[in-house]
Amino acid sequence: MGNMLDKLLAPFEKAGETAHVRAAFGEPEMVGNKVLIPVAKVRHWFGLGYGEGTSPAEEEDAPPDEGKGGGGGSWASAKPLGVLEITAGGTTFVPTPNATLLGFMSLLTGLVTGTLFLLFVARPLVRRFTAARESDESCECCE
């Protein structure tokens, strides 16, 4: 069991080596007279399972059941939060824009614009063309 368990734990040990503060704070970069340090939200999730054992056979002539098992997984994510801006005057945190919120607002703006276009531009044009066609059909001089 020890050998199999060691094999299962090996990837987690390697992943655990990356779960430190350097994963959340990037390398400082000098830009002009400022030092910029990227900041991120880093998450690591781990799971591991293992089973082993035998159970008695229900029939007398049947061999006993045997069992083995094992499994594991990990998940990691990093989300940029912003940068620390260090100048002679002090340190400030500059957040990055929220991409999800920007995408939602763009979609909402498009929907509102499309609805307003249909109500105030397309609808009156359709009414005008429909009325013009109806007036042409009721004309007796053209028959």
Whether the model clears a pTM of 0.85, i.e. scores above it, the answer is: no
Q: Which pLDDT band holds residue 30 (cuts at 50, 70, 90)?
A: very high
Alpha carbons within 13 A on the beta-carbon side of 7: 7
**Rounded Cα–Cα distance for residues 53 and 72 (Å):** 19
Cα torsion 32, 22, 83, 109 to 10°: value is 140
pLDDT at 79 over 90: no
Residue 58's pLDDT is what? 66
Domain residue ranges of the chain, discontinuous segments joined by +:
1-96, 97-143
Res. 74 pLDDT band, cuts 50 70 90: confident
Q: Give 132's pLDDT tier (boundaries 50, 70, 90).
A: confident
What pLDDT does 24 receive?
81
pLDDT, averaged across the chain: 79
Average pLDDT over residues 67-84: 81
| 135 against 86, higher pLDDT | 86
